[in-house]
Structure 1
Amino acid sequence: MSDSMTDTNDTSRMNMIQAINSAMDVVMARDPGVIVMGEDVGFFGGVFRATAGLQAKYGKTRVFDTPITECGIIGVAVGMGAYGLRPVPEIQFADYIYPALDQLVSEAARLRYRSGGEFTAPITVRSPFGGGIFGGQTHSQSPEGLFTHMSGIKTVIPSTPYDAKGLLIAAIEDNDPVIFFEPKRIYNGPFNGYWDKPAENWSKHPGGEVPGGYYRVELGKANVVREGEALTVLCYGTMVHVCQAVIAEAGIDAEIVDLRSLVPLDIETIEASVKKTGRCMIVHEATRTSGFGAELSALVQERCFYHLEAPIERVTGYDTPYPHSLEWAYFPGPVRIGEALKKIMKDA
């Protein structure tokens, strides 16, 4: 893990929402140019309360509600960034980000290049993504693959409260645009057991130990959350916890790599792990076709071909519109991950 501590080592237990709120609080206290904006982020504190209390503390000029116009939110943020501010716009759900794609692709991602470095777009677009709340097709999508395809934009997905705070601070301080997707299925803490059904005790989950002050988790550095010799599992966000639960039950000596950052990608850690284990399984919640797992598979094939002892396996969401009532069947879970494990370990 690559971290930089600067203020305090005092820690407390936080869930991911609390850690994200703490990150914004810390950077806003340090930098008056950090602006939080979005639908209902002010007085209401955001639909998931990630911005709760920030407007009362920093005022309506630094934390403010916007009209329901994602294109406008990101367009204004790009202008703010060019002016010298560090806006942190929230898109209420990742499913709503599509009207803002033109501003992200044509303006934010290209501003540094088209201006010859004279202007930058240091904006961090926060958005809850993925399933877990029975939100169906309009509140549960995982569009990270779109943004990893856009040159000039960084894409970050935390899996723990500690990483969420450190990565968000690093993202806000970065001089290029960052898409910061927050897995809402683990906002309030991991699920129970296999994670194949909603937990009844989200609010009771103790969360994780998170420093109260300033620290950074470097963008582009993966985290090996479990070391092993038999198999490499590449995952991120919610799927890190799902894979940990399944691997523990299966009793396989697997190495689990939490990517944390998709762009920039820590290909060195991935390559070293796969060359060590000789096997690779990729797990993500997004649809299979053109999902980020396809890029990972290609990179592993290119760099580790002569070390592979079995074909690369992918376990993903289905190539269908996101289902309401069948949400828990849509997730990669213990059954499908278990089948992939048996397949890839067949001749081990």
Structure 2
Amino acid sequence: MTQMNMIQALNSAMDVMMARDPGVVLMGEDVGYFGGVFRATEGLQRKYGEHRVLDSPIAEGGIVATAIGMSINGLRPVAEIQFADYIYPAYDQIVSELARIRYRSGGDFCAPVTIRTPCGGGIRGGQTHSQSPEALFAHVSGLKVVMPSNPYDAKGLLIASIEEDDPVIFLEPKRLYNGPFDGDPNKPAVGWNSHARGDVPEGHYRVELGVADIVRPGSKLTIITYGTMVHVCLAAAEKAGVDAEVIDLRSIVPLDVETIVNSVKKTGRCIVAHEATRFAGFGAEILSTVQEECFWHLEAPVLRVAGWDTPYPHAFEWEYFPGQARVIAAIKATMEAS
């Protein structure tokens, strides 16, 4: 085990996979010489050469289209989109081409493409550097969607994603790049400037896609979340003093329905939390699944805690985030309901 932050864990995952498989190539804006805007690919071009770590033009549609062509010809490209907010010029390539290749070809071709992209807010990046678009990709058949919350999972999930024979959208919460974050709006720098690390194996290991993690066992309430909100919900549950079970989904698609259902049937109460906009967010899908599978076990309505239904507010970034106070309010309302 080595102490790593999330950036180092992601770099280690790509290093491990490039050493194991000569078909793994990296591409994106500034990923080579510069090492990526967040330094996730630092040192990899020097180690593996410019033919395997390719700096691309500022053309997201071209990055994804090139990755598709590489993948159906036997390579395993890992494409970086510098911010999730920049992924929309490539959306048609992702939805109309990448996600459908296996189906359109009747299984003759697959597209083992991993698209890495930083998501979420917390760096004062405003509307064009802070979005959380996971629900848009979860809706697209043929894509897997992943969002880690800690360095160990980040490395294991990225390795598993690169080894997948179908495309994966790998969303990286940038607030967690350099350490954990507890969602306290009075400490906006926590998580961005801190350097807390986690134990991460140096070599190859996998965290299987589609398997959630119960990060806090409990018996009175289930909190279902992912990404940055895992740390917010853990801190809120501790502060509220409730025997809450906190589930880190890790994979949004495929969704670990079994773990969700078993937990909610046990606790009878449920909160769903995510940073993205509430309306039509992925939390609505989780809520519907709980309603369909656990209705007769519920002792209170399922509540959602999420971002505002508004374009990302630069001036009110920390009010937009669903922090500890909003999670605690939901916990109180759920526990008092009957």
TM-score by length of 1: 0.95
**One-letter amino acid of the structure 1 residue matched with residue 219 of structure 2:** E
The 3-state SS of whatever aligns with 2:127 is helix
CA contact (8 A) 2:180 2:196 kept: no
Note the C-alpha offset of 1:338: 1.4
| Structure 2 Cα separation of the partners of residues 63 and 96 of structure 1 | 20
Note the C-alpha offset of 1:336: 1.2
- Give the count of matched residue pairs: 338
**One-letter amino acid of the structure 1 residue matched with residue 170 of structure 2:** F
What pairs with 1:164-179 in structure 2 (closer than 5 Å)? 164-179=154-169
Say if 2:36 is the partner of 1:46. yes
**One-letter amino acid of the structure 1 residue matched with residue 235 of structure 2:** A
The 3-state SS of whatever aligns with 2:142 is coil
| Structure 2 Cα separation of the partners of residues 135 and 86 of structure 1 | 31
Deviation per CA, 1:169-188, whole angstroms, max 9, x where unpaired? 00000000000000001100
TM-score by length of 2: 0.98
Match of 2:6 in 1: 16
Say if 2:106 is the partner of 1:104. no
Runs (4+) off by over 4 Å: 200-204
Say if 2:240 is the partner of 1:242. no
Note the C-alpha offset of 1:341: 1.0
2:287 to 277, 297, 301: 297
Tell which deviates more after alignment, 156-165 or 322-331: 322-331
| Structure 2 Cα separation of the partners of residues 195 and 28 of structure 1 | 39
**One-letter amino acid of the structure 2 residue matched with residue 42 of structure 1:** G
The 3-state SS of whatever aligns with 1:136 is coil
1:211 to 201, 207, 211: 201
CA contact (8 A) 1:196 1:334 kept: no
| Structure 2 Cα separation of the partners of residues 196 and 49 of structure 1 | 28
Gap runs ≥5 in structure 2: none
Tell which deviates more after alignment, 184-193 or 321-330: 184-193
Note the C-alpha offset of 1:347: 4.1
**One-letter amino acid of the structure 1 residue matched with residue 290 of structure 2:** V
What pairs with 1:247-326 in structure 2 (closer than 5 Å)? 247-326=237-316
Gap runs ≥5 in structure 1: 1-10
Match of 1:118 in 2: 108
| Structure 1 Cα separation of the partners of residues 235 and 283 of structure 2 | 20
**One-letter amino acid of the structure 2 residue matched with residue 338 of structure 1:** I
The 3-state SS of whatever aligns with 1:99 is helix
Percent identical across equivalent pairs? 67
Match of 1:135 in 2: 125
2:141 to 142, 151, 155: 151
